[in-house]
Structure 1
Amino acid sequence: MNAVFVEIPAPAPVTAPPAAQRPAPLKRLLRAAPPYLYLAPGLVLLIIWTYRPLLQTAQLSFFSWNLLPTSPMVPVGTANYEQLLGAPELGNAVWNTVLVIAGLLPFTVVIPVVVALLTRQVGGRLRELHRALIFAPMLVAPVASAAVWQWLLDPRSGAVNRLLGTEVNWLNESAPAMVSIIGITGWHLLGFAVLLVSAGLAGINDDYAAAAQLDGASRWQVTRWITLPLLSPTLVFLVLMTVLLGAQWTFPLIDTLTQGGPAAATTHIYYLLWDYGFHSHQAGLGAAAGVIFFAVFGVVALFLVWLADRISFHDD
C-alpha cells in the first residue's frame, strides 16, 4: 500500500502591523490623560497651598525678619536653627507636647472602644440619639467652648470646684492647667473617636463571634481575641491621628484659656512656633521651628505607618 504524503504549507511570517494602524502618540496621550486631568485641580491646590508655603518657610528660616513690610529681610545663615536648638524653652515645649499626646490617647482610643462596645447593641432611634449626643461636642467651636469652660473652671464660683468640693485654680496653676487643656480637648474629640470605632465594629462579620461562642468562648475572650484584633486598623488610625495632630487640636484652647501659661506649663511646640512668629515677631526663628517640626513629624509619621502595617490585622 503506497503512503500518501501531503505537504503542509509553512505558516506565513508574522509581520508588524502597518505604521498607519498603530495609535499615534497623541492618541495614546489623550487616552491616558483623563485620570490625571481629574487629579489636576487637587494637585494644583496642594502645590499652591501646601508645598509653595513650605518652600517659602524653608527659605525664610535663613533670614531675620520682624514681619514689617518696611523692614528688610537680613540673611543670617543657620543662626536661627542654632538659636532654636539651644533655646531652653524648646525642651519644655517638646515635653509638654508628649504630655498632651499621652493625655489625649485615652480619650481617642481607650474610652471610645469601651463606649462603642457597651453601646453596640443599641438600636433604632435610641442609636441615632446616642450618636447625636456624643458627637455634639465636636460641633462646638473651640473658642465658644473655651468661654463656657472658663466659667465652669472658675476657682471661686465654678461648677467643677463645687461638684468636686475643691478650690483648685484650674487655669492658673501648672499641673491643673495642663489637665484642663487635655480634658477639654478630649471632651471635644471623644464623640468623633466613638463614631469611628463604632463604624469599625459595624464592619466586623458577626459570624466570627458566633463561631467562637459555639466553641465555648466567653464574651471577654471574643472581644480580646476576635473583636479587638479585627478592630486594629481603626485603632492604629486613631493613634496615628492623635500623635500627629493632638498638639494642633489643643492650640485654640491654649491660646484662649492659658496663653501658654502659667509659667509656660501649657506651651507645646505649636504654640512655641506661633509665639516666635507673632508674639516675639521673629519670623525667621518661627520658620526654622516650623521646618524642624515638619521634618520630625514626617519621620514619626513614616515610622507609625510602617508600624501600622506590621501590627494591623486585616480580615481578608
Structure 2
Amino acid sequence: MATGADGQFVNLARLNIDKYASDVQVNRQLFEYVFFHEGDIKTAHQIASVATKSANFEDWYWKNQLAKCYIRMGLYQDAEKQLISSLKNRKLIETYAFLAKIYCRMDQPIKAINYYQEGLQCYENDPTLLTGLARTRELLGELDESIAIYKRILTFQGNNIEAIACVATTFYYEDKPEIALRYYRRIMQMGVMSCEVMMNIALCCFACQQFDFALSSVMRAHSVMTDDCAADIWYDTGHIMLGMGDVKQASRCFTLAIAADPDHGEAMVNLAILKHREGRIDQAKSLLTNALSKAPHLFEVHFNLALLYFQVCFRTYAGSGRD
C-alpha cells in the first residue's frame, strides 16, 4: 500500500479486491479509505461483500458497511435487510440510527420512531438516538413532543448546540424573546460565531426593544456572512429596518436578498408590498407574479396578488363612471 510522493496511496484500478478484502489485517482500513477518502462506493461495496463472505456473514461491522454503501446507492430495502441482520448479531447505536434514517427516507416515520425508541431501551438517554427522534417528531408536526425531547437532551448534555438552538427558537415564536436570547448567548459563549446565531440574537434583541444591541448584532452577522446564507441575512435585516421605520433601507435589504438568491420568494413578497405602498403597481405586480412562480407554497403571495388585482379592478371600475 506504500507509494511514491506523487502517486496515489492506493491505486484502486490495480487493486486485487479478493486478496486484500479477505485479509482481516487490512480490510477494515482499506474499506474506510476507499469509502470515506476516495468516495468510490462501487469498490467499497465490493470490498465489503468479499469481507462479509470471509467472515461467514456473522460480522456486524461488515453488514453495517454494506448498508452504508446501499444507502449511498439509493438501495434502501437492501440496506434495511443488512441492518436488521446486524441487529441480530449485536445491538448498536449506529445500527438503530441508520435503520431509522432509512425508514425516514422511505417515508415511513412511524417505523423510524419505533426503532429510535427500541434503541433507547438498550441505550437510555443516548444523544444520537434522542436527536434523531426529536427531528422525526418535528417533521411529523409534533412540536411539543420534539421540544420535550430536546429539553431531555439538555438535562444530561448541556453543550448540545442543536438542542439549545431548537429550544431557543421555540421560546422566540412563543413570544418569549428574553428567554430565547439567553439560549442564543449560551451558543455564542460556546464559541459558535456563525452569521445565523448573530442574526437570531439580533432578532431577539429587537423583539426585546434593545435596538442598540440589535444593530450591533446585525453588523456582526454581516461581517461573518457567507454566500449560502446571504439572502436570509439580508431578509432578516430588512425586517429589522422596517420595524425601526426605515422603509427605504428595508427596501434596499430586500433587493439585496433577491440579488443574493433570485428564488427567495419571501423577499419578493415584502419588496412588492413596499412598492405597492409607493404606488408602483406594475413593479409590485411583476414581483408578486415572479414570486408565485418561485414559491407557490407561500400563502402571502396569493393573498397580496389577489388584493392587488382587486384594487386595480376596483379603481378601473370606479374610473369608468359607472353606478
Query: Highest relative contact order (Cα 8 Å, sep 6+), 1 or 2?
Result: 1
After TM superposition, the score normalised by the length of structure 2 is 0.21
